[in-house]
Each structure stands twice: as C-alpha cells, then as structure tokens.
Structure 1
Amino acid sequence: MRKSLLVMKAEIKKQQQNDYHSYFVYFSLLVWPILGFWEIYYTYRPFEAQGRELLAFLGTGFMAYTCFWSMVQNAWSMSNQERKNGTLEIAFLTPANRLAMVYGKALGALLQEVWMFCCFCIFVLFYTKTLRWDNLALLPLFLMLLLAASTVWGGMLNAVFLFSRDASILMDLFDAPMTLFAGTRIPVSCFPQWAKVISLFFPLTYCLNMIRFILGLQKQDNDVFVSLAGLIICLAVMLFITKYLLDKVEKHNRETGKLQFY
C-alpha cells in the first residue's frame, strides 16, 4: 500500500512539473470553464428560468462535469506525451504498481486542473443559498464523492488512451454524450426513456443525482441510495476494465515487445 501511494505521489509531482508550472496555465484553467458556465446560464436565462435556482443547478452540473471532462482531456494529452517523450516503455519496465500509475496520472490532473473552478462553483452555491452554514458539513462529502469517482473514471481512460494507436475519437464520444445525458445542463427527468437508459452508463449521472438531492436541488423519485448503488456498480466495472486492460497489454508487450494493443 505504501509503495502504491509513493507511485501515485510521484505521478502527481511529475505532472505538476511538466504541465502545471506556469501561472498562465492556471489562469486558463479558471477562465475558460467560467466563460462556458456563463454562456450556458445566459442561454437559459431568457426562458423565465429562476435565476438563483438555475445558477445552483448549473453550478453543480459544471463542477462535476469539469472534473470528469478533465480526465478525458488528460488521458488524451498524456497518451501523446508518454509516446513522444518515450517514457511509456520506461514506465512499464519499472516494478511500480500499474494501477497506482494510471490512478496517479488521473489524480494529478484532477487536483491541478479543477480546484480553482470548483472554488468558483462553491461560491456560486453560497451565493444562491443552496450551500449554507447549516449544511456546510456536506461539502467535504460531495467533494470526496467527485474526487473518487473522477479518479476511477480517469484511470480507466488512461488505460484506454495509453495503449491505443489513435483514440482521439473517444474525445468526441465522451464529451457531448456525457454533457447531454448525464444531466449537467438538463435534468435527466426531462429525457425520454431511451435517453434515461443511456444516462445510466455515465458515473457522472449518479454523482449529480446524489449531490443535487443532498443539496435539495432535485426532488428525484428514486432513493439516493439507489444512485449510490448505481455509482458503486459503475466504479466496480471501470476498475475491472482498467485492471483487465493493464494486464492484457502488459502480456501483449511481453510477447511482441509492443505496447500498442489496439
């Protein structure tokens, strides 16, 4: 366990030194999500939507979405960097725990990329009086929920992107569908039945259901424990896929000397 934590710490430090060493990087990581947030808000605002309620709904949606989308973006960029820098083969010659490596990559990007925008969204929740002093104790709960779910999601994506010849199409498959069907901008309850079924495949859906239910933004028919059970199943499946890919690719590498599996 201690060795795995050291591997994750090393991956986080490596990413910080390689990708997040400039104030301009952090500035862009804050400004562009905020601009996207206000774009959506003022798109819906003319349609007689309640101002503060809409802000709180979009604030939770964008905060969770940014965590998950940063994992997609990081997996794509890391796959290019690891291949171009020649560090992918070197990493797999080490005795380091493979799961710790991919989760370290995911966690490092998550901590670096989204903390400022999450602070902005928390301010929005305070402004809309959705997050108050009497329910402030819930804040660490849903932040840890997002952290854990996003890291497992990111670990799976890193495993997929690192060993693919060209997984750029996944950038499209995991962006627009996740934005639409997970309920970041539109409540899932408004969808037709077929769209609700699609939403069940995204762990972001369950995270948003629980966060909005806890904060009183969503009066869902299903119990919050149903969403928790769905999230646990999703995370277990993603963990299995990640471990399966890492083992299969490493076995393929031992037989052929190549890390490109698909």
Structure 2
Amino acid sequence: MNGFFQVLRGELVKQHRNYFHSKMIYISLFLWPVFSFITTFYSYRSFEMADSAVSYLTRENLIVYLILGYMCMSFFRSLVQSAWNFSFERTGGTLELIFLSPANRLAVLLGNASSSLVESTVVMAVFGTAILLLKKEELYAKFGACLIAFTVMLILALLWGVLLNALFLFSRDTGFLFTVLEEPMET
C-alpha cells in the first residue's frame, strides 16, 4: 500500500510541474473564471425569479446556486482537459514506461486525475470565497448541505477523471473524445 501512495504522490508532483510551471497559468486560472462567472450571473439575474419552476432558485440564493454549479462544471471540465493532456504522454512513451514499471497503474491514473482536481479545488475555493465575501447581502444557504454537495462533487469528479484518463491513455485517437466530452461542458 505504501508503494501505491508513493506512485500517487509522484504523479501529482509530475503533473503539477508539467502544467503549472509559471505564474501566468495561475493568472489565467483566476481571470477566466471571473469573467465567465460574471457573464453567467448577469445572464441569470435578468430573469424574474419569483415565477421560477425551481422552488429553491430565488434572487437571494442565486449566487450560491451559481457558485456550486460553476464549481461542478469547472471540476469536470478540468478533468476532461487533464485526460486529454495525459493522452499525449501515450505518444511520448509514458505508456510503455507504465507497463514496464512495477508502479500501480491505478495509482498513476488516480494521481493524474487528483492533480487536476487539486488545482481546480484551490482555484474554485479562492474564487467562491472571494465572491461570497464581496456579496453584501445575507447568505441564504445551509453550510452542511453545501459541504455535502462539495464532497459528492469531488468524489464523482475524481471517479470521472480516472475513467477519462484510462480512456484517453489507451485510445489511439482521442481528438474526437475530447470534442465529444468538451462541448457539453460549454453549455
């Protein structure tokens, strides 16, 4: 079991060094979500919430509703992109090294998915906290329910990431998979 966690940690560190090697990446990670969230927020804000078919979606808790949905979308989208980047390691010879090494293959897949998920969690935690601190109105949300929703999102996103990493790593041409899986995240 100790070897499993060593491989997991090694893959986490490797992916972090490969994709988060400069400060400009962190600027784009914080800048694009802000612009996208502002666009989404004001798109929903223009509708009358009193006549909504969804009973819990009111003008008072719109921001919490959007933050949770945006965090979920961000997790799953980052995992699709992470798996697509992982597929390039197949052409770079990493697949052969994975098969030849005694490293646990599940740990490699889990490490890659976890790396992307850690980065997304940090970005979304900072982003969500900043939005909630800037909000001047009273917050209409139950903390326990938000924590449970966040935990379920993390677990499901991690499972989704491992599945995608396996698909993208062992497929010959993943361009169509990326296109098919990326587009639903855009809507």
Q: TM-score range by the shorter chain?
A: 0.7 to 0.9
Aligned to 1:18: 18
Which amino acid is 2:36 matched to? G
Q: CA deviation at 1:179?
A: 5.7
Q: CA deviation at 1:178?
A: 5.0
The CA RMSD measured in Å over matched residues stands at 2.3
Q: CA deviation at 1:42?
A: 1.7
Matches of 2:146 and 2:5, distance apart in 1: 25
1:75–1:161 Cα contact (<8 Å) kept: yes
Closer, same or farther in 2 for the Cα pair 1:179/1:4, shift >3 Å? same
Confirm or deny that 1:120 pairs with 2:127: yes
Matches of 2:59 and 2:35, distance apart in 1: 17
Aligned to 1:33: 33
Q: CA deviation at 1:32?
A: 1.0
Confirm or deny that 1:67 pairs with 2:75: yes
Which amino acid is 2:171 matched to? S
Q: CA deviation at 1:101?
A: 1.0
Aligned to 1:129: 139
Which residue, out of 81, 86, 104, partners 1:78?
A: 86
Which amino acid is 1:16 matched to? H
Aligned to 1:176: 183
Aligned to 1:108: 115
Closer, same or farther in 2 for the Cα pair 1:122/1:138, shift >3 Å? farther
Q: CA deviation at 1:10?
A: 0.6
Tell me which of the two structures has the higher relative contact order, counting C-alpha pairs closer than 8 angstroms and 6 or more residues apart.
Answer: 2
Structure 1, unaligned runs of 5 or more = 181-262
Confirm or deny that 1:155 pairs with 2:162: yes
Structure 2, unaligned runs of 5 or more = 50-57
Q: CA deviation at 1:84?
A: 4.5
Matches of 2:126 and 2:16, distance apart in 1: 19
Please report the TM-score for the alignment, with normalisation by the length of structure 2. Answer: 0.82
Matches of 2:146 and 2:23, distance apart in 1: 27
CA deviation map 1:104-156 (0-9, x unaligned): 1000111123412232124435636134xxx5455554433222211110000
Aligned pair count reads 176
Which amino acid is 1:8 matched to? L
1:45–1:51 Cα contact (<8 Å) kept: yes
Q: CA deviation at 1:76?
A: 0.5
